[in-house]
Amino acid sequence: MKKGGLKEARPQLIAVENLSFSYDKRVLALDRASMSIPRGRKVVILGANGAGKSTLFLHLNGILRPKSGRVLVEGQEVEYSRSHLSELRKKVGIIFQDPDQQLFSVNVFQDISFGPMNLKYPRAEVKRRVEQAMEITRVADLQGRPTHQLSHGQKKRVAIAGVLAMDPEVIILDEPTASLEPCLVEEMMQLFETLHQAGKTLIMSTHDMDLAYGWADLCFVLNQGRVVAHGSPEEIFSDQPLLRQNNLQQPWVLKVREKLTAMGLLAASICPPRTEAQLFAAMNCIDSSGMKSNLSPELYLASNTTAKS
Protein backbone atom coordinates (compact mmCIF):
# COMPACT_ATOMS: atom_id res chain seq x y z
CA MET A 1 0.00 0.00 0.00
CA LYS A 2 1.33 3.41 -0.92
CA LYS A 3 0.75 6.59 0.98
CA GLY A 4 -0.77 9.51 -0.89
CA GLY A 5 -1.85 9.62 -4.52
CA LEU A 6 -0.47 7.82 -7.52
CA LYS A 7 1.92 9.60 -9.86
CA GLU A 8 3.29 7.94 -12.96
CA ALA A 9 5.20 9.27 -15.94
CA ARG A 10 2.84 7.83 -18.60
CA PRO A 11 -0.38 9.86 -19.12
CA GLN A 12 -3.27 8.07 -17.46
CA LEU A 13 -6.89 8.12 -18.52
CA ILE A 14 -7.63 10.50 -15.67
CA ALA A 15 -5.09 12.39 -13.61
CA VAL A 16 -5.84 14.73 -10.75
CA GLU A 17 -2.98 16.96 -9.71
CA ASN A 18 -2.88 18.87 -6.45
CA LEU A 19 -6.58 19.58 -6.65
CA SER A 20 -7.95 21.96 -4.03
CA PHE A 21 -11.49 23.22 -3.69
CA SER A 22 -13.65 24.86 -1.06
CA TYR A 23 -17.33 25.67 -1.28
CA ASP A 24 -17.28 28.54 1.17
CA LYS A 25 -13.63 29.28 2.07
CA ARG A 26 -14.08 27.83 5.57
CA VAL A 27 -13.53 24.13 4.84
CA LEU A 28 -11.22 22.72 2.20
CA ALA A 29 -13.38 20.04 0.61
CA LEU A 30 -10.37 18.97 -1.48
CA ASP A 31 -6.86 19.65 -0.27
CA ARG A 32 -4.12 19.10 -2.84
CA ALA A 33 -5.59 15.78 -3.88
CA SER A 34 -3.64 13.81 -6.49
CA MET A 35 -4.42 10.52 -8.17
CA SER A 36 -4.05 8.71 -11.46
CA ILE A 37 -6.63 6.36 -12.87
CA PRO A 38 -5.61 3.97 -15.65
CA ARG A 39 -8.04 2.97 -18.38
CA GLY A 40 -10.36 0.03 -17.85
CA ARG A 41 -10.02 -0.20 -14.07
CA LYS A 42 -12.62 -0.68 -11.36
CA VAL A 43 -11.75 2.06 -8.93
CA VAL A 44 -13.26 2.68 -5.55
CA ILE A 45 -12.91 5.92 -3.63
CA LEU A 46 -13.22 5.38 0.10
CA GLY A 47 -13.58 7.86 2.91
CA ALA A 48 -15.79 8.93 5.78
CA ASN A 49 -18.75 11.28 5.37
CA GLY A 50 -17.43 14.65 4.25
CA ALA A 51 -14.06 13.26 3.11
CA GLY A 52 -14.51 14.87 -0.32
CA LYS A 53 -15.57 11.96 -2.57
CA SER A 54 -18.55 13.69 -4.21
CA THR A 55 -16.60 16.92 -4.56
CA LEU A 56 -13.82 15.04 -6.33
CA PHE A 57 -16.32 13.40 -8.69
CA LEU A 58 -17.90 16.73 -9.58
CA HIS A 59 -14.45 17.86 -10.75
CA LEU A 60 -13.93 14.83 -12.97
CA ASN A 61 -16.55 15.90 -15.46
CA GLY A 62 -16.13 19.62 -15.03
CA ILE A 63 -19.21 20.44 -12.95
CA LEU A 64 -16.92 22.03 -10.38
CA ARG A 65 -13.83 23.97 -11.31
CA PRO A 66 -10.67 23.62 -9.18
CA LYS A 67 -9.60 26.52 -7.00
CA SER A 68 -6.08 25.27 -7.64
CA GLY A 69 -4.53 22.23 -9.25
CA ARG A 70 -5.90 20.55 -12.35
CA VAL A 71 -7.71 17.60 -13.85
CA LEU A 72 -6.38 15.88 -16.97
CA VAL A 73 -8.26 13.45 -19.17
CA GLU A 74 -6.07 11.44 -21.55
CA GLY A 75 -3.24 13.84 -20.79
CA GLN A 76 -5.28 16.93 -21.76
CA GLU A 77 -6.05 19.48 -19.07
CA VAL A 78 -9.79 19.98 -18.69
CA GLU A 79 -10.97 23.28 -20.16
CA TYR A 80 -14.17 24.92 -19.05
CA SER A 81 -15.58 26.40 -22.25
CA ARG A 82 -19.03 25.13 -23.23
CA SER A 83 -17.68 23.13 -26.21
CA HIS A 84 -14.88 21.50 -24.19
CA LEU A 85 -17.25 20.60 -21.38
CA SER A 86 -19.67 19.07 -23.84
CA GLU A 87 -16.87 16.89 -25.24
CA LEU A 88 -15.73 15.97 -21.73
CA ARG A 89 -19.23 14.88 -20.72
CA LYS A 90 -19.49 12.56 -23.69
CA LYS A 91 -16.44 10.83 -22.31
CA VAL A 92 -17.05 11.04 -18.56
CA GLY A 93 -20.56 10.39 -17.23
CA ILE A 94 -21.54 10.84 -13.61
CA ILE A 95 -24.32 9.33 -11.57
CA PHE A 96 -24.93 11.70 -8.69
CA GLN A 97 -25.21 10.58 -5.11
CA ASP A 98 -28.62 12.24 -4.93
CA PRO A 99 -30.78 11.27 -7.93
CA ASP A 100 -32.99 14.32 -7.35
CA GLN A 101 -30.05 16.40 -8.57
CA GLN A 102 -29.95 14.37 -11.77
CA LEU A 103 -33.56 13.93 -12.85
CA PHE A 104 -35.45 16.94 -14.07
CA SER A 105 -37.57 15.91 -17.05
CA VAL A 106 -41.30 15.33 -16.79
CA ASN A 107 -41.15 11.58 -17.22
CA VAL A 108 -38.67 8.73 -17.16
CA PHE A 109 -38.35 8.25 -20.94
CA GLN A 110 -37.75 11.95 -21.50
CA ASP A 111 -35.17 12.03 -18.76
CA ILE A 112 -33.15 9.14 -20.11
CA SER A 113 -33.33 10.54 -23.66
CA PHE A 114 -32.20 14.02 -22.60
CA GLY A 115 -28.45 13.28 -22.93
CA PRO A 116 -28.49 11.62 -26.37
CA MET A 117 -30.97 14.25 -27.69
CA ASN A 118 -28.62 16.94 -26.46
CA LEU A 119 -25.79 15.27 -28.36
CA LYS A 120 -28.01 15.63 -31.45
CA TYR A 121 -28.17 11.94 -32.29
CA PRO A 122 -30.82 11.00 -34.90
CA ARG A 123 -34.22 10.18 -33.36
CA ALA A 124 -33.93 6.42 -34.09
CA GLU A 125 -30.51 6.29 -32.44
CA VAL A 126 -31.85 8.14 -29.37
CA LYS A 127 -34.70 5.63 -29.14
CA ARG A 128 -32.30 2.67 -29.49
CA ARG A 129 -29.98 3.99 -26.77
CA VAL A 130 -32.82 4.79 -24.38
CA GLU A 131 -34.48 1.41 -24.82
CA GLN A 132 -31.19 -0.41 -24.31
CA ALA A 133 -30.39 1.63 -21.18
CA MET A 134 -33.89 1.03 -19.79
CA GLU A 135 -33.58 -2.68 -20.40
CA ILE A 136 -30.26 -3.10 -18.59
CA THR A 137 -31.33 -1.00 -15.63
CA ARG A 138 -34.79 -2.61 -15.59
CA VAL A 139 -36.78 0.60 -15.70
CA ALA A 140 -38.70 0.03 -18.94
CA ASP A 141 -41.93 -0.45 -17.01
CA LEU A 142 -41.44 3.00 -15.44
CA GLN A 143 -40.90 4.87 -18.71
CA GLY A 144 -44.17 6.81 -18.70
CA ARG A 145 -44.05 7.66 -14.98
CA PRO A 146 -43.37 11.18 -13.70
CA THR A 147 -39.82 11.16 -12.31
CA HIS A 148 -40.81 13.01 -9.13
CA GLN A 149 -43.18 10.17 -8.19
CA LEU A 150 -40.52 7.45 -8.21
CA SER A 151 -39.00 5.89 -5.10
CA HIS A 152 -35.38 6.73 -4.27
CA GLY A 153 -34.13 3.37 -5.59
CA GLN A 154 -36.15 3.73 -8.80
CA LYS A 155 -34.77 7.25 -9.30
CA LYS A 156 -31.25 5.91 -8.85
CA ARG A 157 -31.79 3.31 -11.57
CA VAL A 158 -33.30 5.90 -13.93
CA ALA A 159 -30.29 8.17 -13.28
CA ILE A 160 -27.96 5.29 -14.16
CA ALA A 161 -29.98 4.61 -17.34
CA GLY A 162 -29.63 8.29 -18.32
CA VAL A 163 -25.85 8.05 -18.11
CA LEU A 164 -25.67 4.69 -19.90
CA ALA A 165 -27.70 6.15 -22.78
CA MET A 166 -24.80 8.55 -23.36
CA ASP A 167 -22.37 5.59 -23.55
CA PRO A 168 -19.44 7.37 -21.87
CA GLU A 169 -16.02 5.74 -21.60
CA VAL A 170 -15.70 6.61 -17.92
CA ILE A 171 -18.63 6.11 -15.57
CA ILE A 172 -18.56 7.74 -12.16
CA LEU A 173 -20.89 6.16 -9.65
CA ASP A 174 -21.44 8.12 -6.47
CA GLU A 175 -22.84 5.60 -4.00
CA PRO A 176 -24.81 3.80 -6.72
CA THR A 177 -26.19 1.04 -4.52
CA ALA A 178 -27.27 3.15 -1.54
CA SER A 179 -30.96 2.49 -0.78
CA LEU A 180 -31.29 -0.27 -3.37
CA GLU A 181 -32.84 -3.56 -2.23
CA PRO A 182 -30.24 -6.38 -1.93
CA CYS A 183 -31.16 -8.27 -5.11
CA LEU A 184 -31.03 -5.03 -7.08
CA VAL A 185 -27.58 -4.34 -5.62
CA GLU A 186 -26.50 -7.70 -6.99
CA GLU A 187 -28.05 -6.90 -10.37
CA MET A 188 -26.40 -3.49 -10.39
CA MET A 189 -23.02 -5.04 -9.62
CA GLN A 190 -23.52 -7.51 -12.46
CA LEU A 191 -24.32 -4.59 -14.74
CA PHE A 192 -21.11 -2.83 -13.66
CA GLU A 193 -19.19 -6.04 -14.35
CA THR A 194 -20.67 -6.15 -17.88
CA LEU A 195 -19.66 -2.52 -18.40
CA HIS A 196 -16.18 -3.32 -17.13
CA GLN A 197 -15.94 -6.29 -19.53
CA ALA A 198 -16.96 -3.91 -22.33
CA GLY A 199 -13.88 -1.82 -21.51
CA LYS A 200 -15.44 1.00 -19.46
CA THR A 201 -13.53 2.62 -16.65
CA LEU A 202 -15.67 2.67 -13.52
CA ILE A 203 -15.05 4.93 -10.53
CA MET A 204 -17.28 4.33 -7.55
CA SER A 205 -17.72 5.65 -4.05
CA THR A 206 -19.44 3.52 -1.47
CA HIS A 207 -19.74 3.11 2.28
CA ASP A 208 -20.28 -0.62 1.79
CA MET A 209 -16.84 -2.02 2.56
CA ASP A 210 -17.78 -5.61 1.67
CA LEU A 211 -18.88 -4.46 -1.75
CA ALA A 212 -15.81 -2.24 -2.26
CA TYR A 213 -13.41 -5.00 -1.23
CA GLY A 214 -15.03 -7.64 -3.44
CA TRP A 215 -15.43 -5.39 -6.48
CA ALA A 216 -12.56 -2.94 -6.88
CA ASP A 217 -9.16 -3.51 -8.41
CA LEU A 218 -7.79 -0.15 -7.27
CA CYS A 219 -8.68 1.82 -4.14
CA PHE A 220 -8.02 5.39 -3.05
CA VAL A 221 -8.66 6.66 0.45
CA LEU A 222 -9.68 10.27 0.99
CA ASN A 223 -9.50 12.01 4.34
CA GLN A 224 -10.44 15.67 4.75
CA GLY A 225 -9.95 16.27 1.05
CA ARG A 226 -6.58 14.56 0.84
CA VAL A 227 -5.68 11.31 -0.86
CA VAL A 228 -4.03 9.54 2.06
CA ALA A 229 -3.50 6.10 0.51
CA HIS A 230 -3.97 4.05 -2.60
CA GLY A 231 -3.43 0.42 -3.49
CA SER A 232 -5.07 -2.87 -4.24
CA PRO A 233 -8.07 -3.89 -2.12
CA GLU A 234 -5.87 -6.49 -0.42
CA GLU A 235 -3.31 -3.82 0.52
CA ILE A 236 -5.84 -1.25 1.72
CA PHE A 237 -8.12 -3.59 3.66
CA SER A 238 -5.32 -5.45 5.42
CA ASP A 239 -3.98 -2.18 6.86
CA GLN A 240 -5.83 -1.98 10.18
CA PRO A 241 -4.36 1.38 11.33
CA LEU A 242 -5.30 2.93 7.97
CA LEU A 243 -8.85 1.60 8.27
CA ARG A 244 -9.17 2.92 11.84
CA GLN A 245 -7.76 6.34 11.01
CA ASN A 246 -10.25 6.72 8.18
CA ASN A 247 -13.35 5.30 9.86
CA LEU A 248 -13.42 2.36 7.45
CA GLN A 249 -14.55 -1.08 8.52
CA GLN A 250 -12.85 -4.32 7.74
CA PRO A 251 -14.88 -6.47 5.31
CA TRP A 252 -16.57 -9.42 7.02
CA VAL A 253 -14.77 -12.05 4.93
CA LEU A 254 -11.45 -10.76 6.25
CA LYS A 255 -12.72 -10.75 9.85
CA VAL A 256 -13.80 -14.38 9.50
CA ARG A 257 -10.54 -15.32 7.78
CA GLU A 258 -8.57 -13.70 10.62
CA LYS A 259 -10.58 -15.55 13.23
CA LEU A 260 -10.10 -18.89 11.45
CA THR A 261 -6.38 -18.23 11.11
CA ALA A 262 -6.10 -17.33 14.81
CA MET A 263 -7.93 -20.57 15.66
CA GLY A 264 -5.40 -22.50 13.58
CA LEU A 265 -8.03 -23.61 11.08
CA LEU A 266 -6.74 -21.66 8.10
CA ALA A 267 -3.11 -21.40 7.08
CA ALA A 268 -1.86 -17.80 7.29
CA SER A 269 -0.36 -18.34 3.83
CA ILE A 270 -3.81 -18.77 2.23
CA CYS A 271 -4.48 -15.92 -0.18
CA PRO A 272 -6.97 -13.53 1.50
CA PRO A 273 -10.46 -14.25 0.16
CA ARG A 274 -12.19 -11.33 -1.56
CA THR A 275 -15.70 -12.73 -1.59
CA GLU A 276 -17.98 -15.02 0.35
CA ALA A 277 -17.50 -17.71 -2.32
CA GLN A 278 -13.70 -17.52 -2.00
CA LEU A 279 -13.86 -17.66 1.79
CA PHE A 280 -16.08 -20.71 1.73
CA ALA A 281 -13.85 -22.36 -0.88
CA ALA A 282 -10.89 -21.81 1.49
CA MET A 283 -12.92 -23.36 4.31
CA ASN A 284 -13.71 -26.37 2.14
CA CYS A 285 -9.98 -26.83 1.53
CA ILE A 286 -9.45 -27.19 5.27
CA ASP A 287 -12.25 -29.66 5.34
CA SER A 288 -10.76 -31.90 2.67
CA SER A 289 -7.23 -31.73 4.11
CA GLY A 290 -8.31 -33.76 7.09
CA MET A 291 -8.64 -30.93 9.61
CA LYS A 292 -12.40 -31.03 9.81
CA SER A 293 -12.30 -32.61 13.26
CA ASN A 294 -10.94 -29.26 14.39
CA LEU A 295 -14.03 -27.45 13.18
CA SER A 296 -16.95 -26.85 15.48
CA PRO A 297 -20.20 -28.51 14.32
CA GLU A 298 -21.59 -25.08 13.37
CA LEU A 299 -18.57 -24.20 11.28
CA TYR A 300 -18.46 -27.63 9.68
CA LEU A 301 -22.15 -27.36 8.85
CA ALA A 302 -21.63 -23.89 7.41
CA SER A 303 -18.79 -24.99 5.15
CA ASN A 304 -20.79 -27.95 3.88
CA THR A 305 -24.00 -25.99 3.37
CA THR A 306 -22.25 -23.36 1.30
CA ALA A 307 -20.32 -25.95 -0.65
CA LYS A 308 -23.66 -27.23 -1.94
CA SER A 309 -25.11 -23.78 -2.68
Ligand X SMILES: Nc1ncnc2c1ncn2[C@@H]1O[C@H](COP(=O)(O)OP(=O)(O)OP(=O)(O)O)[C@@H](O)[C@H]1O
Which residues contact Mg ion (rule: CB under 5 A)? 53-54, 97
| Cα(170)–Cα(199) distance, integer angstroms | 9
Q: Which partner in Mg ion, ligand X, none is near 23 (CB below 5 to 8 A by kind)?
A: ligand X
Which is closer to ligand X, CB of 54 or CB of 154? 54
State the nearest-atom distance from the C-beta of 24 to ligand X, in Å: 5
Quick count: other Cβ atoms within 10 Å of Cβ 220?
29
Which is closer to Mg ion, CB of 47 or CB of 273? 47
Which is closer to Mg ion, CB of 224 or CB of 275? 224
Q: Which partner in Mg ion, ligand X, none is near 147 (CB below 5 to 8 A by kind)?
A: none
State the nearest-atom distance from the C-beta of 44 to ligand X, in Å: 13
Q: Which of 237, 190, 235, 229 is nearest to 210 (CA)?
A: 237
State the nearest-atom distance from the C-beta of 56 to ligand X, in Å: 7
Q: Which of 26, 24, 10, 7 is nearest to 69 (CA)?
A: 7
Which is closer to ligand X, CB of 111 or CB of 175? 175
Which residues contact ligand X (rule: CB under 6 A)? 23-24, 27, 29, 47, 49-55, 97
Sequence-ordered list of residues with C-beta below 8 angstroms from that of 63, at least 6 positions apart, any chain: 94
| Cα(112)–Cα(161) distance, integer angstroms | 6
Quick count: other Cβ atoms within 10 Å of Cβ 181?
10
Q: Which partner in ligand X, Mg ion, none is near 49 (CB below 5 to 8 A by kind)?
A: ligand X
Q: Which partner in Mg ion, ligand X, none is near 104 (CB below 5 to 8 A by kind)?
A: none
State the nearest-atom distance from the C-beta of 50 to Mg ion, in Å: 8
Q: Which partner in ligand X, Mg ion, none is near 34 (CB below 5 to 8 A by kind)?
A: none
State the nearest-atom distance from the C-beta of 219 to ligand X, in Å: 14
What sections of the chain are H helices per DSSP? 53-60, 82-91, 108-118, 123-137, 152-164, 182-197, 209-215, 233-237, 240-245, 252-262, 276-286, 297-308
* Radius of gyration for the chain, computed over Cα atoms and rounded to the nearest angstrom: 21
Which is closer to ligand X, CB of 196 or CB of 207? 207
State the nearest-atom distance from the C-beta of 28 to ligand X, in Å: 8
Helix (H) or strand (E) holding 31: strand 30-37
Quick count: other Cβ atoms within 10 Å of Cβ 76?
12
Q: Which partner in Mg ion, ligand X, none is near 273 (CB below 5 to 8 A by kind)?
A: none
Which is closer to ligand X, CB of 23 or CB of 80? 23
